[in-house]
Amino acid sequence: MNNNLQTAFGNIDIYLFDQLLKGRFDACKKVIDVGCGAGRNIVYFLKNGYEVYGIDPNADAIASVKQLSQELQPGNPVENFMVAAAEQMSFDDASFDLAICSAVLHFAADPVHFDSMMRSIWRVLKPGGYLFARLASDIGIETLVKPVGNGRYLLPDGSVRFLVNEQMLVDYTEKLGGTLYEPIKTTNVSNMRCMTTWCIKKM
């Protein structure tokens, strides 16, 4: 059974898997993974006939995800995957039904960079489209992180990340003209880091 799940879904983010189980994205047809890496979050979409796109600043990752796409859905053009940063997407406005952005936004250099990434992703989403984002936050470890400037913090695990908090996510949701389609949820990993799931629908 586990092998069948692995084949069907790959090494998918468990919280993205949760949204699939809820049928949240059943009506979506065109999907982009922003910061797709080698494609761990798009196996299900490729296997089930979605029109799948991906960007990543790492050329090796894009080469890997092109190969994955060819293996799982030969009809999905490899040109759909390209080397680019989140804030540099060249797609038309309102192009996608779903944007996935897992473990990317916390690499923002400062609040301006974070804002440019968010607005770029939001721009390419269709009205009624979904954003699924996972990013580092200070929620639950506020007293354990140390500011290093520009919205970035040293975490107990030794990494430096741009961190959000719950109010910032609520404010951004409103500012962008979106609505939460799932409550904001945070996973605390042994007080070493916290990862927050932020799910917005574009109105």
Q: What is the pLDDT of residues 90-109, one digit of tens each?
A: 999 999 999 999 999 999 99
Residue 36 has pLDDT above 50, yes or no: yes
Percent of the chain with pLDDT over 90: 97
**Cα 37–chain centre separation:** 11
> Who contacts 62 (Cβ-Cβ below 8 Å, separation ≥6)?
36, 54, 55, 56, 81, 82, 83
pLDDT band (50, 70, 90) for residue 48: very high
- Distance, CA of 51 to CA of 162 (rounded, Å): 31
> Which pLDDT score, from 0 to 100, does residue 92 have?
98
What gap in Å lies between CA 93 and CA 167, rounded to an integer? 28
Domains annotated for the chain, with CATH where assigned, are 28-202 (3.40.50.150)
Q: Which two tokens stand for residue 135?
A: 């990013």
Average pLDDT, the chain: 97
Residues 80 and 61 sit within 8 Å (Cβ to Cβ): no
The pLDDT value recorded for residue 4 is 87
Query: Which helix (DSSP H) or strand (DSSP E) does residue 127 occupy?
Result: strand 125-137
pLDDT in tens, 72-88: 999 999 999 999 999 99
| Sheet of strand 193-202: strand arrangement | 81-83, 51-56, 30-34, 96-102, 125-137, 193-202, 178-189
Average pLDDT over residues 102-127: 98
User: At residue 165, does pLDDT exceed 60?
Assistant: yes
Q: Which amino acid is at 135?
A: L
How far is CA 171 from each of CA 111, 122, 174, 187, rounded to the nearest angstrom?
Answer: 14, 15, 5, 21
For 9, residues 6+ apart whose C-beta sits below 8 A from its C-beta are: 17, 20, 43, 44
Q: What integer pLDDT is reported at residue 199 of this predicted model?
A: 98
